[in-house]
Amino acid sequence: MKKRFLGPLAALLLFISAPAAAQQLPAAAVPPGESRQEQPRLAIEALTYFAGEVKAGSVVRHTFEIKNRGSAPLKIVDFSTGCSCTAAAFDRTVPPGQTGRLVMDVKTYREWAGREFRRAAWVTTNDPVQPRLRLIISGRVLPLEDEDWAGQDPAPQ
């Protein structure tokens, strides 16, 4: 009796599971809140740079490298600084899979001698996940001798 029951039961299970096995699965699952359209993806190793000890009156320059890990061009919409002592230059578009550069300069002044500094710049992109980020350069300004300052401009007010 057990043999007669197991045969039809196995056939019934195959019949029920066959349509589920025949369904096509999507090629790649899309996380909730995202679409399948091409999008840029900004990746950056460090948001801060410590310059160490620098002479007063020098310019500290650092290049932040950004990578586009997305499938659409990454556009740098804006790269703005917080004060007149900081300047910025950048690659406006980073193709998918490529690396771009954000260059930040900080000019130090004699009034900063013996103190630490910290200057920021803000980057605005077309990355839907990370549209805005802040980059920081910091360090410590060493004082110079008074005769080294002859004819140099004071810090901006």
pLDDT at 123: 96
**Among 112, 63, 47, 64, CA closest to 85:** 112
- Burial label for 45, CB within 10 Å (0-12, 13-18, 19+), is exposed
**Among 122, 135, 136, 125, CA closest to 94:** 125
Q: Which CATH class is domain 42-143?
A: mainly beta
Question: pLDDT tier at 117 (50, 70, 90 boundaries)?
Answer: very high
- Domain ranges for the chain, please list them: 42-143
Strand-strand pairing, 74-81 and 48-55 = unpaired
Q: Which tens digits make up the pLDDT trace of 56-106?
A: 999 999 999 999 999 999 999 999 998 888 888 999 999 999 999 999 999
**Among 104, 103, 109, CA closest to 86:** 104
> Does pTM surpass 0.75?
no
pLDDT at 34: 52
Beta carbons of 88 and 60 less than 8 angstroms apart? no
